[in-house]
């Protein structure tokens, strides 16, 4: 006992010393960081990026939510050095591993938060505005944000409140006309059966059926399915929403001439899509684990060549299928992939597979703690400019691993050595991240710039397959921002009803699809419809229709 105690005690002492050393090391790091904060020699001049270098170092602290602080620190190093040296700007990007909403609540409760908060969910941002913690941006934009006005154009109006004032700006705004979801088939198998054309869901079904007949099992003797999906996150609710596009539904809603929205459960189209999916299940063509497996399990099956097709976003089949086969299969050939096709039900006038939002994925506010809001706005104004987008999206120029170069006189060019790797799929994302691309976005847009470039680096060099996809699907992409801009109010009955409907519909759809007969499927669908309307589906539809119409009027989009 005694000996153990002594051992423990000495261990503790030893550890204290070691821990002490460790923290000393950290201290010195901090002091060097502040020490380097000096006046830039280029003050007052306009640098090659088109930024007027300020006299005094411009410092902005901003919180962007949940991320790994270690990775963020690693990836911000190079670009923050460059910003300090050439711009005399010090951006202090703050991330915590805490959940963002939780952290924001703690910040509010303890009244301790930074100058700028970015990447907020819409309702969070509005809450901060309501509490009076966000500064009004409208006069700042008028005075210091000409570039913001120019780049955002009409979109800027979408962030006005009812009084025409702007309190928050978006990050990731703009229309990126890339198709996400589509009907996909395994190309080499499709070629084997003579590439029969398919335009409707029934023809798509026939093709998939033939593919499975041709390849009933994979190399290991495991069963091959036509389609499959997974249960994680929002995916189960997304299946009917994505499929609905084939029948002319817009993200699960049917829009009539007066812009009234009807939920898919209340439409014939909804019943049709459920029956269509159910047919796969009845005939053993749908993976029976569709609603029980996780994405990783789905991915394992995809990698093991157990799906003839897929109906959803493009990159899962690329990562789990094509990219995995490229690395692991000896007999890999370029046709081992899932290209994308547009299909449309006869009863639909048009397919709406790819609803797009221009609203961005987050909002940014300047808090009431900020002493120099006009400087922040000046920085944002640079951020959205053509050159700002390049620097802050592609990372630092002029190094061996940079994707772009910039001369002293401000002329830019691609770094061919690196862009080549983007074209042949050998691009090293980790190295790219070290250059600080995508690191410092606060109000960045993802629209096409005047010179034809784009913030997402790989979108500037789409592969031929990628181009083919967008060519095939270009008519399915549409701006549905007026719908995506709707946010459910916190703690109101409609929010609860919406959640109840979601619960009922997710369960109901899965059960209807997995039915053994078509009549059972229809019965379960009707049961779901009834339950959903009891839970307040009508109120939810009304709420969405009303808000949708309001946005259309406000944005002059009618």
| Residues between 285 and 314 that touch other proteins (CB under 8 A) | 288-289, 291-297, 299-301, 303-304, 313
Q: Which string of x and - marks every residue 526-545 that binds other proteins (by CB under 8 A)? A: --------xx----------
Q: Quick check: 438 binds other proteins (CB under 8 A)? A: yes
| Shortest reach from residue 465's CB to other proteins, in Å | 14
Q: Please name the residue that has the structure tokens 């979109």.
A: 155
Of how many residues is the chain composed?
558
**Nearer to other proteins (CB atom), residue 19 or residue 557:** 19
CA separation, residue 267 to residues 319, 523, 546 (Å): 35, 15, 19
Which positions from 5 through 24 interact with other proteins, judged by CB under 8 A?
A: 8, 11-12, 15-16, 18-19, 22-23
**Nearer to other proteins (CB atom), residue 124 or residue 383:** 124
Which positions from 246 through 275 interact with other proteins, judged by CB under 8 A?
A: none
Which positions from 507 through 526 interact with other proteins, judged by CB under 8 A?
A: 507, 509-511, 514
**Nearer to other proteins (CB atom), residue 36 or residue 105:** 105
- Nearest Cα neighbor of 388 from 459, 458, 442, 452 is 442
Q: Quick check: 423 binds other proteins (CB under 8 A)? A: no
**Nearer to other proteins (CB atom), residue 326 or residue 526:** 326
Instruction: For residue 164, give the 3-state DSSP assignment.
Output: coil
- Nearest Cα neighbor of 384 from 137, 115, 159, 152 is 152
**Nearer to other proteins (CB atom), residue 40 or residue 274:** 274
Q: Give the whole-angstrom CA distance, residue 153 versus residue 174.
A: 10
DSSP-assigned beta bridge partners for residue 96 = 66
Copy the structure tokens of residue 506.
């997710």
Which positions from 176 through 205 interact with other proteins, judged by CB under 8 A?
A: 176, 178, 180
Copy the structure tokens of residue 122.
């819409």
Q: Report the residue from 31, 163, 258, 430 that binds other proteins according to the rule CB under 8 A.
A: 430
Q: Cα–chain-centroid distance for residue 135?
A: 27
**Choices 44-52, 380-388, 462-470, 496-504 (CB under 8 A): range interacting with other proteins:** 496-504
Q: Give the whole-angstrom CA distance, residue 511 versus residue 514.
A: 5
**Nearer to other proteins (CB atom), residue 93 or residue 133:** 133
- Nearest Cα neighbor of 236 from 252, 254, 224, 255 is 252
Query: What strand order describes the sheet that includes 309-313?
Result: 309-313, 181-185, 340-341
| Shortest reach from residue 453's CB to other proteins, in Å | 15
| Shortest reach from residue 68's CB to other proteins, in Å | 4
Q: Please name the residue that has the structure tokens 């962030």.
A: 159
Q: How many residues bind other proteins (CB under 8 A)?
A: 90
**Choices 172-180, 190-198, 473-481, 520-528 (CB under 8 A): range interacting with other proteins:** 172-180
**Nearer to other proteins (CB atom), residue 267 or residue 446:** 446
Which positions from 26 through 65 interact with other proteins, judged by CB under 8 A?
A: 26
**Nearer to other proteins (CB atom), residue 313 or residue 405:** 313
| Shortest reach from residue 322's CB to other proteins, in Å | 12
**Choices 83-91, 204-212, 364-372, 451-459 (CB under 8 A): range interacting with other proteins:** 451-459
Q: Quick check: 175 binds other proteins (CB under 8 A)? A: no
Where on the phi/psi map is residue 358: left (φ > 0), alpha (ψ -120 to 50), or beta? Answer: alpha
Q: Quick check: 70 binds other proteins (CB under 8 A)? A: yes
Q: Quick check: 245 binds other proteins (CB under 8 A)? A: no
Which positions from 310 through 369 interact with other proteins, judged by CB under 8 A?
A: 313, 315, 319-320, 323-324, 327-328, 361
CA separation, residue 436 to residues 173, 181, 416 (Å): 20, 30, 19
DSSP state of 83: I
Q: Give the whole-angstrom CA distance, residue 406 versus residue 49.
A: 9
Q: Give the whole-angstrom CA distance, residue 544 versus residue 547.
A: 5
Which positions from 90 through 149 interact with other proteins, judged by CB under 8 A?
A: 96-98, 101-102, 104-106, 108-110, 123, 127-128, 131, 133
| Shortest reach from residue 47's CB to other proteins, in Å | 28
| Shortest reach from residue 340's CB to other proteins, in Å | 14
- Strand residues in 351-506 grouped as ranges (E): 354-356, 362-366, 404-406, 412-414, 477-479
Give the Cβ contact number of residue 554 at 10 Å: 16
- Distant-in-sequence contacts of 460-467, Cβ < 8 A, 24+ apart: 460/419, 460/422, 461/419, 461/422, 461/423, 463/423, 463/425, 465/337, 465/339
């Amino acid at each position: 006992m005694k000996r153990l105690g002594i051992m423990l005690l000495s261990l503790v002492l030893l550890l204290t010393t070691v821990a002490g050393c460790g923290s000393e090391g950290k201290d010195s790091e901090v002091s060097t960081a502040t020490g380097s904060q000096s006046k830039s020699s280029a003050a007052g001049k306009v640098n090659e990026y088109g930024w007027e270098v300020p006299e005094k170092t411009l410092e902005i602290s901003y919180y962007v939510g949940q991320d790994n602080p270690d990775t963020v620190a690693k990836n911000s190093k190079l670009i923050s050095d460059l910003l300090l040296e050439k711009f005399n700007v010090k951006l202090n990007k703050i991330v915590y591993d805490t959940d963002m909403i939780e952290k924001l609540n703690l910040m509010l409760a303890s009244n301790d938060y930074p100058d700028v908060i970015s990447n907020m969910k819409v309702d969070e941002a509005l809450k901060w505005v309501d509490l009076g913690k966000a500064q009004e941006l409208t006069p700042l934009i008028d005075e210091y944000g000409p570039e913001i006005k120019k780049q955002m154009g009409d979109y800027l109006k979408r962030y006005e409140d009812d009084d025409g004032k702007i309190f928050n700006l978006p990050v990731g705004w703009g229309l990126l006309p890339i198709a996400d979801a589509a009907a996909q088939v395994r190309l080499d198998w499709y070629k084997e059966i003579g590439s029969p054309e398919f335009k409707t869901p029934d023809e798509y079904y026939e093709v998939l059926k033939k593919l499975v007949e041709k390849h009933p099992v994979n190399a290991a003797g495991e069963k091959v399915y036509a389609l499959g999906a997974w249960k994680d996150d929002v995916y189960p609710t997304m299946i009917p929403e994505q499929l609905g596009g084939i029948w002319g539904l817009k993200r699960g809603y049917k829009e009539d001439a007066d812009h009234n929205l009807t939920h898919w459960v209340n439409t014939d189209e909804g019943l049709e899509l459920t029956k269509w999916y159910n047919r796969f299940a009845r005939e053993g063509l749908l993976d029976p684990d569709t609603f029980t497996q996780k994405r990783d399990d789905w991915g394992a099956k995809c990698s093991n060549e157990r799906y003839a097709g897929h109906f959803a976003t493009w990159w899962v089949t690329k990562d789990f299928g094509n990219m995995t086969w490229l690395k692991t299969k000896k007999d890999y050939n370029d046709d081992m992939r899932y290209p994308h096709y547009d299909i449309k039900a006869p009863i639909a006038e048009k397919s709406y597979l790819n609803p797009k939002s221009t609203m961005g994925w987050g909002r940014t506010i300047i808090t009431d703690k900020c002493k120099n809001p006009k400087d922040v706005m000046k920085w944002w104004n640079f951020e959205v400019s053509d050159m700002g987008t390049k620097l802050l999206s592609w990372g630092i120029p002029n190094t061996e691993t940079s994707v772009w170069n910039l001369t002293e006189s401000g002329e830019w060019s691609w770094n061919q050595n690196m862009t080549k790797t983007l074209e042949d799929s050998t691009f090293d994302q980790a190295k790219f991240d070290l250059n600080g691309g995508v690191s410092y976005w606060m109000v960045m847009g993802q629209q096409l710039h005047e010179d034809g470039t784009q913030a997402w680096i790989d979108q500037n060099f789409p592969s031929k397959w990628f181009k083919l996809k967008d060519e095939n699907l270009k008519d399915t992409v549409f701006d549905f921002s007026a719908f995506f801009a709707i946010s459910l109010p916190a703690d109101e009955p409609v929010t609860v009803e919406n959640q109840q409907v979601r619960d009922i519909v997710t369960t109901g759809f899965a059960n209807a699809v997995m039915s053994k007969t078509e009549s059972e499927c229809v019965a379960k669908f009707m049961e779901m419809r009834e339950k959903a309307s009891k839970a307040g589906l009508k109120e939810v539809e009304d709420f969405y229709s009303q808000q949708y119409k309001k946005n259309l009027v406000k944005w002059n989009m009618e």
